A and B are shown apart, each in its own frame.
Chain A
Amino acid sequence: MSDVAERVKKIVIEHLGVDADKVVDSANFIDDLGADSLDTVELVMAFEEEFGVEIPDESAEGIVTVGDAVKFLEKATAKA
């Protein structure tokens, strides 16, 4: 697992209070991990804070699974 993936999963586990084994790449924040729309807003904020990047609203809308977040953040931090 990449460093980015590990940090993403740690944030998801903390914020959504879910078991680590459920936090797989394909897990949908809302359908699989019990988040509501406000939780997803807060998750994106936590990613921004952890990785020191800004995630524009139009990009945030596309981040619906753990894998989406990892992919986006790997790209964003590689650029930086």
Chain B
Amino acid sequence: MRRVVVTGLGMVSPLACGVEQSWKRLLAGESGAGRIEGFEISDLACQVGMQVPRPGREKANSDAFNADEWMEPKEQRKVDDFIIFGVAAARQALKDADWAPKTYQDQIETGVLIGSGIGGLGGINETSLLLQEKGPRRVSPFFVPGRLINLIGGHVSIEHGLKGPNHAVVTACSTGSHAIGDASRLIMLGDAEVMVAGGAESALNRIGIAGFCACKALATSFNDRPTAASRPYDRDRDGFVMGEGAGCVVLEELEHAKRRGARIYAEVTGYGMSGDAYHITAPSEDGDGAYRCMQAALKRAGITAADLDYVNAHGTSTMADGIELRAVERVVGEAASKITMSSTKSSVGHLLGAAGAVEAIFSILAIRDQVAPATLNLDNPAFETAIDLAPHTPRKRKIDVALSNSFGFGGTNASLVLRRYEA
């Protein structure tokens, strides 16, 4: 089987615009959380979110995301934010990989596979209000193409001339992991030499928060203490904190990367999938789906649990944290005490369809820098475990192999195994 390596990274996160900027702030223990700005929240049970920092917002920092740098204002008007985030992350990743296909051959060998969990929820909401108020003649011709999930890939392919496979994934909170896994398979099978893969999300709007509140999925006890709201594995956790943004990686066939002297961050060696067949929003209580998913990824990678160093958990700060933890324990067995597992959602929140991509990037950087990011706010662990959950501070340690988990509504699970590249 052809080997697939990661040669470029791109990110827009609630911490910053940019991979290194986000990573630096993540390791410094920063939280992207705040009281939600930009729309009415007084009647929402959850008033806390992890919004992408933007100039002019209260939460803006020196690495804020300025949409005008990534898309002309007249084009921004036509699309939902998830497309702008995705376009930005993809451009960063291609630049980082120093890959700009110019010849026809290079173009047809380079594809895109970027997904989103929900897509243009905000635009659908606004347009339906407009339809109600002013009738069908006021519905913009850009309404449909500005909301479709595969239009992230559409814009990215047009901007960079990528004429290979053009695909998108929609698997709720597993989207980003499935996108990277599926794209690596396309390269392994020879459908492409290079793929831009990842996820993007912008459901952090009034209707999105209201919807997830109705599912009882969001944190509601921390409206006055936003940075304490996302607290995976902690006794007082009571739901996830919604994030937004995008993550994209450039995946490349190993020999292709070597021929052009590309920098190799890591190798994608394992990818596992499973379905719970249990409930539309809750994971199966025995953790069977998560267990089989991780096992499948390890098997594909040709490793055992004893080879694992770091697990980037799905860890949403909900009741499901314990189900995942027990499933990981079942997978790793006696190796538990040598593994560090953390949830970076404690710092960036839950980016839904972008989560798997952003977390895969954090896992790759954990391998590069030999440091496991922390689980913030883990003050009173709700579980006893031999696994190190890295409360409060990052762990400097050997990380050759990382596992990144994502589990989504509908019982859709994906795990990626990322490995330090060795010739």
Contacts and interface: CB of A to CB of B under 8 A. Distances in A.
Interface in B124-176: 137-138, 140-142, 145
Contacts of B140: 42, 45
B384 interface: no
Nearest to B75: A17
A32 to B, nearest CB: 16
B140 to A, nearest CB: 6
Contact of A45 (B74, B137, B145): B137
A42 B142 CA distance: 8
Contact of B73 (A17, A41, A42, A45): A17
Contact of B138 (A14, A38, A49): A49
A61 interface: no
B74 A38 contact: no
Query: Range of interface residues on chain B?
Result: 10 to 19
Interface string A1-37: 0000000000000111100000000000000000000
B72 interface: yes
B138 A41 contact: no
A17 to B, nearest CB: 3
B74 A16 contact: yes
A48 B137 contact: yes
B73 A38 contact: no
Contacts of A17: 72-75
A41 B74 contact: no
A14 B137 CA distance: 20
A38 B137 contact: no
Contacts of A16: 74
Contacts of A14: 74
A41 B371 CA distance: 53
A45 B138 contact: yes
A45 B138 CA distance: 6
Contact of B141 (A41, A48, A49, A54): A41
A15 to B, nearest CB: 7
B142 A38 contact: yes
B152 to A, nearest CB: 18
A38 B141 contact: yes
Report, nearest first, the 7 A-B pairs whose CB atoms are least far apart.
Answer: A17-B74, A38-B141, A41-B141, A42-B141, A42-B140, A17-B72, A38-B142
Interface of B: 72-75, 137-138, 140-142, 145
19 contacts: A14-B74, A15-B74, A16-B74, A17-B72, A17-B73, A17-B74, A17-B75, A38-B141, A38-B142, A38-B145, A41-B141, A42-B140, A42-B141, A42-B142, A45-B137, A45-B140, A48-B137, A49-B138, A54-B137
Given A14-B74, A16-B74, A38-B141, 12 more contacts: A15-B74, A17-B74, A17-B75, A38-B142, A41-B141, A42-B140, A42-B141, A42-B142, A45-B137, A45-B138, A45-B140, A54-B137
